[in-house]
Structures are given as C-alpha cells and as structure tokens.
Amino acid sequence: MPQIAVITGAGSGIGRAVALELLAAGFRVVLAGRREERLRETADAGGAAEAALVVPTDVAVPESVAALFERVRAEFGRVDVLFNNAGINIPGNVADLSLADWRKVVDTNLTGSFLCAGEAFRIMRDQRPQGGRIINNGSISAHNPRPASPAYTATKHAITGLTRSISLDGRPYGIACGQIDIGNAATDMGKRMAEGVQQANGTIAAEPIFDPVHVARAVRYMAELPLDTNVQFMTIMATTMPYIGRG
C-alpha cells in the first residue's frame, strides 16, 4: 500500500522537487500551497497526476490547514509523511522591518509549520498502524543569518526548536521528526545567489548554487526510513558556499 505524503509549498522550488521525487518513488502525494495552478503544474510534471491530490492551502490560516488535513483524512484515512516546507522571506533589518511584515513571515514560516505539524501529529497518533514522520525545512539560516533577515532567521532558528520538541513528544506514538537545512539550491528563491547577494562585510558577491534534485533525494531518503530510525538534522548545500567560516 503506498505511503501518503503531505507537502506544503508544493507549487514551486524545493516543494515541487520533493513532490516529483516522492511521486516517482510511488508515494501518494498531497500538494498543498496557495496557488492552485502551480500545484496542478506540479502534479502534471510528475506524470502521475492520479497519484497526486491538489489542495489549495494557506498555511498561515488555521481554518485552511484544518481543511487540508480533513481532506487528507477523508481521501486516504492516514498520513505517513509531512514535509513542512512552505516559507517566505521579507528582507529588512530589525530597525526597518515593519511589524506587519514580521508577522507575515512568522505566520507562514513558524506558525504555519506548527499548525501543519499539529494536524499531522493528531492523525499519526490516532491512526492504525500508529506513527509517521514529520520533516521540517529549516534552512542554513537556522544556523547563521544573512544580512537584513531578522524575521526569516528567527523563524528558522525556531523551527529547530519545534523539530526537537516534536521529536520528543512523538516518541510514545512512533512519530519521528527531523529537519533538513538547505543552502543555495537553484530555485526561484535561491538562484539570485548566483547573481550576487550581500555578504556579512557589506560587499556583493555571487555564490555557488546546486540542483534541488539533490535536496529531493535527501528528503526521500529521510521519508523512506523505517520509523525506528531518524535523521535528526541534515545540512545540504553547495559545497563552496560561504557558510563554513561565513563573515
């Protein structure tokens, strides 16, 4: 019986790459994101549209997240994997970033991950056989910040705490939780790194990027592990990006 995976932010970038990889591996994949047309493009690109379920979702809205998982429960009766991937960044230093923009990033990156994890956790806890796996997209920024990124950096540091907490609370129920921290994948969000971005010393420099297919394969590896085995944290990045020794 195929495993059921829910992917947020599945309409583009890392989310789309992971969705295509899991579809190729035989998963039934629930594609969640704000833009229905982009989700349908992902389903069509996978060449297995019948194995994909498109559910337009705004992870920052509790009612939307609840509706997503109610649809999953009605269609499949269970959840085996959640990839908490949806995220946004609004640049600006701590003095210039507006409270509204801060809240928008926090609501999407952190609260959205919390809401999705809570819904998935309840299903995984109550289903039979019991258990499942939650994989959070942390980012390199869960370790080191880029300039002018207080909201994004704070949410990604917080995702690390959320990952650890879910890992602990999930033990009695066979629920594993891990985190993948990604640096400079060649997505719409990441490809600007190759064009030149601000460095810690104020200069602008191009940074190396890498194919997101390698991220997708890493997430597939994590997703296919038996539930008695967990990748707690994984960092995957362009080999020579300015991370080790950054600044």
Catalytic residues, which ones? Answer: 152
Q: Give the 3-state secondary structure of residue 158.
A: helix
The residues pairing with 84 across neighbouring beta strands, listed in sequence order, are 136
- Tell me the torsion sign for CA atoms 92, 98, 101, 103: positive
User: Are 46 and 53 contacting, i.e. CB atoms less than 8 angstroms apart?
Assistant: no
User: Are 131 and 227 contacting, i.e. CB atoms less than 8 angstroms apart?
Assistant: yes
User: Are 169 and 118 contacting, i.e. CB atoms less than 8 angstroms apart?
Assistant: no
Check residue 7 and report its DSSP letter. Answer: E
- The structure tokens 């949806």 sit at 86
The rounded distance, in Å, linking the Cα atoms of 229 and 30 is: 24
Q: Give the amino acid at 214.
A: H
User: Are 78 and 45 contacting, i.e. CB atoms less than 8 angstroms apart?
Assistant: no
The rounded distance, in Å, linking the Cα atoms of 95 and 92 is: 8
Q: What is the CA radius of gyration of the chain?
A: 17
The rounded distance, in Å, linking the Cα atoms of 107 and 114 is: 10
